[in-house]
A and B are shown apart, each in its own frame.
Chain A
Amino acid sequence: MAQVDFKNVSKRFADVNAVVHDFSLCVPDGELLVLLGPSGCGKSTTLRLLAGLEQPTDGEILLDGQVVNDWSPQRRNVAMVFQNYALYPHMSVRQNLAFPLRMRRQPRVEIAAKVDETARLLELGALLERKPAQLSGGQRQRVAMGRALVRDPAVFLMDEPLSNLDAKLRVQLRGEIARLQQRLGTTTLYVTHDQTEAMTLGHRVAVMQAGVLQQLGSPQELYDRPSNLFVAGFLGSPPMNLFEAKVQRDAQGAFVSFGTARVPLPTALGADAPAYLGLRPEALRHDDPEGVLPDVTLTVLSVEPLGYEQIVYLTAPLAPVASAPETEAEVKNSVAARLPADYPLSAGESITLGIDVDKVRYFDRNGEALG
């Protein structure tokens, strides 16, 4: 059990710019914190810095208030689960589980007891004499978990532990990891590029991009109030619809036109003029019979039925944000709406939707959230 602190940590490799830049973060004892970001954003490097596999160029890393920058990995008492599991191929499952204890020179009897206990916890009992090559992906993943938790580490580090598994197994093991962490209460840092994993597992989620921490908060906070355009465009499937906003004024105050809809700016914005406007797909509503919401009529471009709901792509009435990440051109020039499935639609149709103005988010010229 331990608290983890990063204080202004930077990491530069000889040949490139900073991989991690001025990174500060406090993970309280017992928390499961997810580091989320696209590949190459520095999240794995952050984990490796904490593990002691990399040395920070600047800043301090603390475990329970002690600076551990100069500590070797073995001294830090952290355990890590690797993406490719990194099981020792020449050792049986039993030997793999016992390895961290053997390295710490624990008595044989204790090692045997701990290995059996861990095997029971992870239901590995029947596999103890097998070699890693004789295990399925999910079983290997479990052994890797077992090897990490067999020695009661201060901190668990997980580097994309589920990304080599198929979708179904991933969901199952995701649940197991969450239950296990809750039961053991071990501080855990979990790296992933999968936002579903991040949202379902993390007590808090730290979103990273280009080595910089973008936002830290609960999954719901991140989703509801993204702190900048990157987080807004990264989280959610489909992500937030982002557009250039032209502020206009009339007798009733400042507003933004979204097609035919007049979207009033919240007074909380004060004098700040937003440059961008963001709209979650569920902020476009078809269930507005009283017509209290400003409404807009748009043409359907395409429909993605998901069974319980449908994602509808509509013509965008405003210019899209040029820098919106990871979106295809067609999606980029459209606005996505999440609608109930009992509302059959096809391409070319027109549809009138209400805009839930409370759910509209605004961003300034630099992409930072307003209000």
Chain B
Amino acid sequence: MLTLRRNRKNETGNSASLSGKDTDSETKRRGASQWAVAWRRFKKHKSGLFGLGMIVVLLIVAIFNTVIAPYPARPAPDALKPLYDGEAAQAPSWKHPFGTTRMGLDVFSEIVHGSVYTIYVAVAATLITTVLTVAVGITAGYFGRYIDELLMRITEIFLVFPSLLLILVFARIFQLGNAEPFYSFLGINIPIGLTMIILIVSIFAWAGNARVVRGEVLRLKETEFIQAEKSLGASSWWIMLKHVFPNVLPQIIVLATLSMASAVLVEAAVSFLGFGDPNTYTWGRLMEESYSDMSTTWWSEVFPGLAVFLTVLAFNLFGDGIADALNPRLRE
């Protein structure tokens, strides 16, 4: 049995992480749960681990932003201290690692404070997108027939339409009716404009993912254990919650990680084009503010963009890593 398996693997030569030695250890620990196996596989995925490391750094920066940043966040008057010290529009130096803007803001501090919004965008947008993905994907796939037909037609419209165009229109309309900048919840100031953008971005992000989940559910529906549950008289909701959902969960986790990457990217784009929340200084906003100065103080434009790039890269690398770790076709 074991030799046979090893042969097949050598033919396909699929995953570098599966050398002959690992096969033995994985077979021995067959009792381990699929998550433990996945984690073991993930630990060998170098670029995936690198992505995870970058995400951890981002989280630390966001949590300790007030400690790490040498200057406070706007609207605190001290945010403009470099201006009063006569240090506006300075190139990167030891005191200002990413330089200062023409307005007299320390670019490094601004990026550190902006990381909080980046995390908020990534997490909130992904939560909403995932709920929509799961609801549409599982319902369409499981119930099939006219429900599937209807949901898939709606999905197609969302999929086909260049979403950035409509996101801009919605963002602009919400900007008009923006009365209160913040909503205070449990002592945390939640930026309303940014939340609206997150909502809009999420509403246009679920369609592709829902199609993937639906396909997976369609495949599951034909498996024997689901058929057995059905013939035992289990209700549709029970089967969906207890059997279908746990089995599409790996797929959903992968899609969710990749959604984080695209949410951060789209929010940065919307803000950069000037349709963002005027009260929150996200990285895209910082780029918009410095856009007209890029021929002189290029650092105030380049570093916030670099932060966006590295964050999106981190989520994508991490997502690829878990996709490989959870892919049953690559698994022993």
Tell whether A and B belong to one assembly.
Answer: no
